[in-house]
A and B are shown apart, each in its own frame.
Chain A
Amino acid sequence: MVGKAEPVNGSVKSGSNQSIPATMQSPLKKSDLIPNLSLKTLKLKTKQQELLIRVSILCLVYVLAFITRLFSVLRYESMIHEFDPYFNYRTTLFLTEKGFYEFWNWFDSESWYPLGRIIGGTLYPGLMVTAAIIYWLLRFLRFAIHIREVCVLTAPFFASNTTLVAYFFGKEVWDSGAGLVAAALIAICPGYISRSVAGSYDNEGVAIFALLLTFYLFVKAVNTGSLAWALASAFAYFYMVSAWGGYVFIINLIPLYVLVLLITGRYSMRLYVAYNSMYVLGMLLAMQIRFVGFQHVQSGEHMAAMGVFFLLQVFFFLDWVKHLLSDTKLFQAFLRITVTTAIGVGAIALGVGMASGYISPWTGRFYSLLDPTYAKDHIPIIASVSEHQPTAWSSFMFDFHILLFLFPAGLYFCFKRLSDATIFIVMYGLTSMYFAGVMVRLILVATPAVCLISAIAVSATIKNLTLVARAKSKVTQTGSVRGSSSSKGSSKPFQRNGAIALLLGAFYLLSKYATHCTWVTSEAYSSPSIVLAARGAHGNRVIFDDYREAYFWLRKNTPPDAKVMSWWDYGYQITAMGNRTVIVDNNTWNNTHIATVGRAMSSYEDEAYEIMRSLDVDYVLVVFGGVTGYSSDDINKFLWMVRIGGGVFPVIKEPDYLVNGEYRVDKGAAPKMLNCLMYKLSYYRFGELTTEYGKPPGYDRARGVEIGNKDIKLEYLEEAFTTSNWIVRIYKVKPPNNRW
C-alpha cells in the first residue's frame, strides 16, 4: 500500500494520497516500511473511527452490566436468593433431568398437600426453558457446569443483552448517541439491578429483556412498515408471554399506543401492517402457553387489544371507501353511519360477552393497579406482600437518582420532536411511571422507559453544549464580518467556556449517578435473603446461615414422606432444599388453604392440633428473630396470618390479638395472643435465654420488649430442632395418645 505508488489512477481524491507515497518512495528502505505501515494502516476514516468507538463502548457496557451484578456471588457464594427463585430452580432441575414432556405434564404432589399442584399448567416456562437451553448448549460444547451456576448467572447475562436492545431502541427512537447513553444508563440502573442480580433466578430477569425486545421490534415495524419486523415482534411477544405474567402490560400498552396514533391522525399503512400481524400471530402463539390458555379472547384484560384490532379494520375500510368514492359529501355521510354502527356493534358485543360471563372481568391483581385501594379492602394476600406497597419518593430516588431530573427533560425533547417512535416511548414512560407509583415492584417495568427518555435528554443536551463549545472554529473561518451579525458575536469565548463548564457539570452528574448505582447495588440489592449478615461488636461480619441449616436438617432427619406446615413464605425453599412436602407455598393459589394454616397458627394449641391432624402435618416450622433482632420473622407477619385466616374463618377476629389497637407481645398483650400457637412455638424456652447484656431473660430483640408469657408448655408438639441462632425452629407434631 505504501511501497507501491500507482501514480496513474485518475481521480483527484487519490491524487493527494498518491503524492505522499510518491515523495517518500525514493528514500524507502525495508526498515522504514514497518513503522510507516503501522501509522498509515491505523489511520481510519471518520466513519470507521465512529464505528470503533461505538462498538467498544457497547462491549464495555455489556461487560459492565454483567459484572456489576456479581456482588453477592463474590461476597457469599454462588447460590439462589430469596423465595421464588427456589421454585424456578427446582423446576429447571426437573426439566434438565426428565426432559421437556415430563416437565410440561408435571403434577407435583409435594406441595399444597393434599391438593397438589399442576405445575405444567400453572407456570410460565420461558425462564426454565431458557436456562435449560443454555445449560444444554454449554454441555454440548463440553463445559461440564452444574445447572445451579447457569441459573445463578442467567439474569446478569440477560441484563447484558438488554443493554444491547436498549442501544438499538435508542437508535430507533432518537439517534445512535442516545442509544449508547441508554445502554450505559440501563446497565447500572438500580431499578433493574434489584431484580436481576446474580442469584435472583426469577422471571423478571428474562422478562425485561423480552419486553424491551418486543417494544423495539414493534416500533421498528411501525417505522418501516415491514412484515418481517412485525412478525419478529410477534415472536418476541410470544417469548414475553412465556416468561412473565406482566405481558398484560404489553397487550394493553400497544393497543393504547395505536389508539393514540389514530386520534392524532397518524394512521398509515405501516401501522396497519405492524399491528395486525403482531396481534394475530402474537395471540395465536400466546395460546400455546397452557397457563395463558384462551385468555386472549376470554379475559377482560385483553379486550382492549381486540377492540383496537377491529377499530383498525374499520379505519382501513373507511380509507378504502374514501379512495373509491370521489365525492366528499357522500363519504361524510357514509363515515358517520359506519362509525356509529361500528361503535354500537362493538359495545353490544362487549356487553353481551361480559353479561354472559364469557369475558371474565379484570382479575384482582391487575384491577388493584387501576384502583389501588381495592386490594387493601378486599384481598389481604395481595396487600400483605411488601413489594406490592405503593411507592414513596425515596424508593424512586433510590432506584433512579438523577434519572428523575432527566425524565421530564427527555419528555420535553420528545414532545418537541413528535414522531411515531417518540409517541411510543412517551406513552411507555408515562404509563409505566404511573404503575411504578402504585406498586414498588413495578419500578422494574418503568426502568427501561426512564433510561431511554433520560438518554434522549442527555444526548440532546450534550449535543447542544458541544455545538456551542465547537462553534468558535466554524465562525472564525467564515470571517469576522459575520461575527457581528450573529447574536453571540461579542462574547464567544465566554459562551464557549460556559459550554465547556456545563459539559463538565453534566459529566460530574453522570459520574455521581454511577457512584450511587454501585453503592446501592452493593449495599441494598446484593443480599441473598437466605443468608443474613450483620456487623459484630468489633466491626467484623457475622453470617447467619440458619435457613439452610434448618432445611438441611429437615432433609436428613425426617422421614421422606413427612409433611411440613409453615407460613407460605417458606414453602418453595422447603420443597427445593428440604425436599419435603409442604402444606402451602408461595404460589398462593388457594386462599382457603392458606387461611386454614393461618387459622391453625392463630388458634390455641388444642384447636390447632385438630387442624394439623386433619392436614396430616408432621412438622411445623416457624421463623423467629428475637435472638438476632431479625425483623422479618413470623411474629411480625402474624397479623397477616390473622387477617387472612379471619377472612375465611370468621371465628378468628383481629381485635382479639390487639390491645387498644396496638400489637404487643409483652406483659400487656392480649391473652389470646399470649396463648396462640405461633406465640408458643416462637417463644418456647425463650424465657430462659439472656439475649442482650443488661436486659432480663426473655428480651425479644426484634420487638424490643420483654415477652409476657415465659413459662410455655407444649402439649401436642415437641421441639425437634432449633438452629444455632434460633432463627428457624422446627417442632414435631405428636401422634394422638393411645386410647388406654
Chain B
Amino acid sequence: MRSKPESQTFTASMEPLSSGSVDPIFHLLRIVPFSFLRPPKLRLKLPTLTLPSPMTVYALVLLTYFMVVSGIVYDVIVEPPGIGSTQDRATGSVRPVVFLPGRVNGQYIVEGLSSGFMFVLGGVGIILMDLALDRNRARSVKVSYATAGISFVVIAYVMSMLFIRIKIPAYLS
C-alpha cells in the first residue's frame, strides 16, 4: 500500500494531467451522470475540418463570378422575362427578341447568362494559355492547352463585341 501512493504521487508529480483533468466541466460530468451511467464504446471521430485547396476555392469563385456578371441580382429583383418577344407588324406572328433594346442597364435572363458565359470563357482561355507554359506536362497536352486557350480568348472577345454591338447599335460610331 505504501508504494502505491508513492508511485501515484510520483506519477502525479511527473504528469499532473491524467486524461485532461484540468477541465472542470469534465470533472463535473465524471461525477454527475457518468458515475452510474456507462457510456457505450463508439468508434466515432469528430469530423476534422480541413481547409480546401486554393484551386477548389478558385473554382467556386469562378462560378460566383459567372453568376454575378450575368446579372443574377438584376434577374431576381426586376424579374425580366427569359427572352423578350415582339409582334411582327406584317404577319402578326410573335418573334423572339434576345437583347433588350434601348437601355444599357437592362437585360433578359438568357442574354445575361450567355454574356456571362463569354466572359468566363475568355478568362478560362487565358488560364489555359498559362497552363500551356508549365514545364511538367507532355508536349501534346501543352499544345492542346495552348490552342484551346487562344481559341477561347478569340471566340470570347469576338462574341462579346458582337453582343454589345447588337445591344447598343450606336457602339463605337
Interface residue? B1 (CB, 8 A): no
Inter-chain contact B71/A390, CB cutoff 8 Å:
yes
Q: What CA separation (Å) do A404 and B156 show in the bound complex?
A: 11
User: B65 contacts A392, CB within 8 Å?
Assistant: no
Given A333-B22, A333-B23, decide whether A412 and B172 contact each other with a Cβ distance below 8 A.
no
Q: Is B105's CB under 8 angstroms from A395's CB?
A: yes
Q: Are B123 and A409 in contact (CB under 8 A)?
A: yes
Please give, as numbers and ranges, the residues of chain B lying within 8 Å of A263 by CB-CB distance: 51
Find residues 110-154 in chain A having any chain B CB closer than 8 Å to their own CB: none
Q: What is the bound-complex CA distance between A516 and B160, given in angstroms?
A: 13
Q: What are the residues of chain A within 8 A of B168 when measuring CB–CB?
A: 394, 398
Quick check: is B37 within 8 A (CB to CB) of the other chain?
Answer: no
In the complex, residue of chain A having the shortest beta-carbon distance to the beta carbon of B156: A405
- On whether A405 and B157 interact (CB within 8 A), knowing A394-B105, A430-B64, A461-B130, the answer reads yes
Asked whether, in the complex, the Cβ of B116 is within 8 Å of the Cβ of A402, the reply is no
Number of interface residues of A (CB under 8 A): 59
Contact B126 A393 (CB under 8 A): no
A415 touches B164 (CB 8 A): no
Q: Are B105 and A391 in contact (CB under 8 A)?
A: yes
Residues on B with C-beta less than 8 A from A394 are 104-107, 115, 164, 167-168
Majority secondary structure, A binding face:
helix
Scan residues 43-63 of chain A and give those whose CB is less than 8 A from a CB of chain B: none
Residues A409 and B61 in contact, CB atoms below 8 Å apart: no
Decide if B44 is an interface residue (CB 8 Å cutoff): no
User: What does DSSP make chain B's interface, helix, strand, loop or mixed?
Assistant: helix
| Residue pair B51, A397 in contact (C-beta under 8 Å) | no
Q: How far is the CB of A402 from chain B (nearest CB, A)?
A: 7
For chain B, the count of residues having a C-beta within 8 Å of the partner chain is 58
Which residues of chain A come closer than 8 Å to B69, judged between CB atoms? 393, 396, 404, 433, 437
Residues of B within 8 A of A438 (CB): 73
A176 interface residue per 8 A CB criterion: no
Whole-angstrom CA separation of A509 from B125 in the bound complex: 14
The residue from A392, A397, A404, A468 contacting B133, defined by CB atoms under 8 A apart: A468
Is A445's beta carbon under 8 Å from chain B?
no
A337 in the interface, Cβ–Cβ < 8 Å?
Answer: yes
Asked if A412 contacts B23 (CB within 8 A), the reply is: no
**Within residues 9 to 39 of chain A, which ones have a CB less than 8 A from any CB in chain B?**
none
Distance A329 CA – B168 CA, assembled complex (angstroms): 67
Answer whether residue A636 sits at the interface, using C-beta atoms and an 8 A cutoff. no
Q: Is the CB of B71 within 8 A of A402?
A: no
Pair A502/B150 contact, Cβ less than 8 Å: yes
Q: Which of B29-71 contact A (CB under 8 A)?
A: 51, 54-55, 57-58, 61-62, 64-65, 68-71
Q: How far is the CB of B78 from chain A (nearest CB, A)?
A: 7
Residue on B with the closest CB to A329? B17
A408 near B150 with CB under 8 A, answer: no
Query: Assuming the A-B contacts A395-B105, A415-B54, are A407 and B77 also in contact, with contact meaning beta carbons closer than 8 angstroms in the complex?
Result: no
Q: Could you list 15 further interchain pairs (A-B, Cβ under 8 angstroms) beyond the known A396-B71, A408-B123?
A: A264-B51, A329-B17, A372-B76, A390-B77, A391-B74, A394-B106, A395-B104, A397-B160, A398-B164, A406-B123, A412-B130, A415-B54, A433-B65, A437-B72, A516-B172
Closest 7 CB pairs of A and B: A408-B123, A405-B122, A409-B126, A392-B107, A390-B74, A437-B68, A393-B115
